[in-house]
Amino acid sequence: MTNNRYVKFTTRAIRVAQDPDKEANAVIQPIFQSATFAWNSLDEMPAHDYTRVSNPNRSTLEAVLASLENANHAVCFGSGMAAVMAAFSLVKCGEHILMASDIYGGTQRVKDKLLPTMAIEASEFDGHSVASLEAAIQPNTKMVIFETPTNPNLSVMDIRAIANCCKKNGLRCVIDNTFASPYVQNPLDLGCDIVIHSTTKYISGHSDIIGGAFICNDPDIQYRVFEYSKTVGAVPSPFDCWLTLRGVKTLALRMERHCHNAALVANYLAQNPRVKTTYYPGLTSHPEHAIAKSQMSAFGGMVSLEVDGEAIHAKRIAEATRIFMLAESLGGVESIIGYPTLMSHGAMTEAERQAKGIRPTHLRLSVGIEDSEDLLEDLDQAIARAFIGSTERVLVTV
């Protein structure tokens, strides 16, 4: 089956470019773990020649991911950060990139550490205000990059408004759609030019690979980024592509459960007197709930909270959960708890974190697909123990 937009999302995830293989009629594409492919003659180059350039497993994954973002093209990378760098490869020395101030720390690090060495200018804008974006545009601005919902505060930016502003000013509009996943949000349909994913997260869904994807409609951009990928060689292995393809088949089912569980967790936290603020775009109390509703089909699996206490209470909760694992990353089937101050946002200074509204009382939850009652009980016991001072960890086998 080719990229058929008339077939629904769930079916596309399972069937696009995944007809039985020609050699043995295998229902699942074999892993083409080969660096190179033989030529039958010098007159005829094989479809795949050398795996840094292309590989059958990667091509299948690219077809599926393009289809899930309602796009014409995808180029897969060995990490989400490599896909971000691919977007920046479209900007030349002397040109300027505008980056939303509330963006993944790795992307920010590229702005602070790498772009200056390439003589590419970059500055920030407030992603919640199109006026701030307009005001930050310089004569040499070429690209705008943002993400929504954001990390860790899950604030929501108006994709249509940012994309319209980019269009009006002739800027390339790039969005990192990792937190939402293509099941929840399709930014190209809302006017963006390029979608980036860390496929490490929801798309692969099992915390067992690192990968990234660059997705667009414009064939010229696709070709430039494909050339970049083969030149720098930041490509995923055939096995990682195969694992990602296996994971993405259940993206819709997993996302339904992630969103369901996250809504229950958010409602529980919102009513817990030990929690000062719960951040979840699906809560009607979320300041950008209306925007979220207008651009997301569901509200995702990420929830964050600020405890009504001190940093020590947040740290104790992070160490007292029995099912939520204390770890980096997100988007896997297992629930994860993170303490942004020391983990995802640990590289920032305290002042930088304060400016972004990330406080030492903050916790970030990647709500998995386990039984929701177990998750709520786990948070309940961890919060209760954190506030009576007991911090010993209890390992449970489930």
Binding site for ligand PLP (CB under 6 A): 79-81, 104, 106, 147, 151, 176, 178-179, 198, 200, 210, 212
Beta bridge partners, 307, equal 275
Catalytic residue among 15, 52, 230, 246: 52
**CB of 210 or CB of 296, closer to ligand PLP:** 210
**Under 8 Å CB-to-CB from 127, ≥6 apart: which residues?**
100, 101, 102, 133, 146, 148, 150, 157, 162
Distance of alpha carbon 14 from alpha carbon 159, whole angstroms: 28
- Complete DSSP assignment for 228-246: HHHHH--PPPHHHHHHHHH
- Complete DSSP assignment for 131-181: HHHHHH--TTEEEEEEESS-TTT-----HHHHHHHHHHTT-EEEEE-TTT-
For the question of residue 104 being annotated catalytic, the response is: yes
Catalytic residue among 176, 193, 240, 378: 176
For the question of residue 353 being annotated catalytic, the response is: no
In this chain, which residue has its C-beta nearest to ligand PLP? 80
**CB of 80 or CB of 205, closer to ligand PLP:** 80
Can you say whether residue 138 is alpha, beta or left, with left for phi > 0 and alpha for psi between -120 and 50 degrees? Answer: beta
Amino acid 43 reads D
Catalytic residue among 12, 58, 104, 193: 104
**CB of 70 or CB of 178, closer to ligand PLP:** 178
**Under 8 Å CB-to-CB from 15, ≥6 apart: which residues?**
1, 7
Catalytic residue among 201, 315, 356, 359: 201
**CB of 149 or CB of 382, closer to ligand PLP:** 149
Smallest separation (angstroms) from ligand PLP to the CB of 255: 16
**CB of 151 or CB of 153, closer to ligand PLP:** 151
**CB of 201 or CB of 313, closer to ligand PLP:** 201
For the question of residue 316 being annotated catalytic, the response is: no
Say if residue 149 is preceded by a cis peptide, omega within 30 of 0.
Answer: yes
Q: Are 184 and 211 within 8 A, CB to CB?
A: no
Smallest separation (angstroms) from ligand PLP to the CB of 113: 15
Smallest separation (angstroms) from ligand PLP to the CB of 78: 8
Smallest separation (angstroms) from ligand PLP to the CB of 26: 29
Binning the chain into helix, strand and coil, the percentages to the nearest 5 are 40, 15, 45
C-beta atoms surrounding 285 within 10 Å = 11
Say if residue 187 is preceded by a cis peptide, omega within 30 of 0.
Answer: no
Smallest separation (angstroms) from ligand PLP to the CB of 200: 4
How many CA atoms does the CB half-sphere of 134 hold within 13 Å? 7
Smallest separation (angstroms) from ligand PLP to the CB of 301: 13
For the question of residue 176 being annotated catalytic, the response is: yes
Which residues are identified as catalytic? 52, 104, 176, 201
